[in-house]
Amino acid sequence: MASKASSGITVVAPRGSSNLTTSPVLTTVPPSFIEGLINKIPLPRWALIAIAVAAGLVLLLFLICIIKCCCCKKKRKKKEKLNLTNINGASTTASLVQPDLEDIECGLEDEKRGRLQYSLEYDFRGQELKVSVKQAADLKAMDSGGTSDPYVIVFLTSDIRKKYETKVHRKTLSPVFNESFIFQVSRAEVTEAILVMQVYDFNRFSKHDIIGEVTLPLVDVDLQHVMEQWLDLSPAGKIEQEHLGEICFSLRYVPTTSKLTVVILEAKKLKVMDADGLSDPYVKVQLILNKKKWKKKKTTVKKNTLSPYFNEAFVFEVPFNLIQNVDLVISVWDHDKVTKDDQIGKLFLSCRATGNQLRHWSDMLANPRRPIAQWHSLQPVEVMDKTLGLKTRFKLPLPTS
């Protein structure tokens, strides 16, 4: 049996013994760890409880913030995925996948295209503007070999049909041109015109790529003095002449036999001349000797097409001592059964030609017996006729009786 004393000590009697005189066993319950820790802190219980509650609230708020951030990120990712899969949908989608137009324009402007040196001189008496294309430097490489075949086209916006071209310089990014061109422009027109100098990369069998251009409003130029300067090339604008079409032909000259062979191969993208949106094109091949009409031949007519294929050859006998004085004129015509045939466009090649035409003619003379083929852009008829400056044949007066 056990008896409880007033001092809080429990006396336990051994089992099986009724003798209470046996020495008692004393036991005490030790306090818990947390309770012992609290007893060591020199603060009242209410203060400890308040601190514990505040810490719990702070921890709870921290957890809520973490959960909220995670949920927002998941919603944002999900929204972006939905927009990307529906690019053709709402306008808000475009803002996620397309940069602003201002960013695109800035990127194009920042691209280095090179520099061009030129000079200007205006003759007030003769009303002539002399443009000299000096050289270019640090041009953008357009070919796979890291170079370009640059040349420059020069024209005024007051008459974009009148264009000049420099010679083509092979495989260089810093060509030296030193070529001058003269424009007849009055004092009234010169202040309203814009000088455009476009640098192109030459390609024999494909479209020529534009590297960049320089545009100069002449109203901002002091034409009282000769001006020479360098300017950076900018992206090409939208000043373009009417597209008349392109034609491909080959030239071959054999000096020993005095045979000039012209093979008209094909044309493409010709100007529409008929009401049905097509044309009936054919090609005239003409030789001009000392600015007088000499010999001519023409291809067959190709019906209802803007991209005719000819593959027709013409042979002319031109002595070697005359080849330097001959102009080869290629003109494309639209055939009409009722009315007079209309010219679509033309060009000429000779030692006095410029640009790509001069290059093609020079390649033919430098490679005798070898056919040289190349594409050319058709030029306005009135411009070519003015440049050729053909002399009129006067008929001898009949003898008077």
* Residue 57 is assigned to a structural domain of this protein: no
One domain for residues 216 and 316: no
pLDDT higher than 50, residue 181: yes
- 255 shares a domain with 228: no
- Check whether residue 267 and residue 382 sit in a common domain: yes
390 has pLDDT over 90? no
Tell me what pLDDT residue 382 has: 82
- Cα distance between residue 213 and residue 190, in whole Å: 20
For the ranges 40-54, 128-142, 370-384, the lowest mean pLDDT is seen at 40-54
Residue 373's CATH number: 2.60.40.150
pLDDT in tens, 245-302: 999 999 999 999 999 999 999 999 898 888 778 899 999 999 999 888 899 999 999 9
Domain termination site, one of 179, 201, 232: 232
Q: Is the pLDDT of residue 143 over 90?
A: no
Residue 48: inside a domain, yes or no? Answer: no
The verdict on 307 and 332 lying in the same domain is yes
Whether 384 maps to a domain, the answer reads: yes
| Residues 376/320, Cβ–Cβ less than 8 Å | no
Residue-wise pLDDT for 193-207, tens only, equals 889 999 999 887 777
Average of per-residue pLDDT values in the chain: 79
| 157 and 210 inside one domain | yes
The residue segments making up the domain with residue 190 are 115-232
User: Do residue 138 and residue 225 come from a single domain?
Assistant: yes
Find out whether 299 and 310 touch, Cβ atoms under 8 Å: yes
**Inside any domain, residue 217:** yes
Residue at a domain's end among 232, 255, 280:
232
| Total domains in the fold of the chain | 2
Q: Is 379 a domain residue?
A: yes
Q: What are the tokens at 106?
A: 């800035």
Confidence of residue 374 (pLDDT cuts 50, 70, 90): very high
Q: Are residues 215 and 263 in the same domain?
A: no
155: Cβ–Cβ under 8 A, 6 or more apart, which residues?
162, 163, 164, 196
pLDDT at 98: 40
First CA to last CA across the chain, in angstroms?
A: 180
Same domain as 124, residue 167: yes
Q: What is the pLDDT of residue 281?
A: 95
Identify whether residues 274 and 179 lie together within a single domain: no
Q: Is the pLDDT of residue 401 over 50?
A: no
Domain identity same for 214 and 306: no
pLDDT at 396: 42
Do residue 189 and residue 306 come from a single domain?
no
- pLDDT top residue among 3 and 155: 155
- Residue 149 resides in a domain: yes
Q: Is the pLDDT of residue 97 over 80?
A: no
Tell which of 205, 232, 259 closes a domain: 232
225 domain-assigned? yes
Of 75-79, 93-97, 123-127, the least confident: 93-97
pLDDT in tens, 324-342: 899 999 999 999 888 889 9
The larger pLDDT score, comparing residue 237 to residue 128, is at 128
Q: Which of 48-57, 162-171, 236-245, 377-386 has the lowest mean pLDDT?
A: 236-245
Q: Is the pLDDT of residue 354 over 90?
A: no
Which residues on adjacent β-strands are paired with residue 288?
A: 293, 327
**pTM metric for this prediction:** 0.49
Q: Is residue 130 part of a domain?
A: yes
More confident residue, 367 or 83: 367
Judge if 253 and 220 occupy the same domain: no
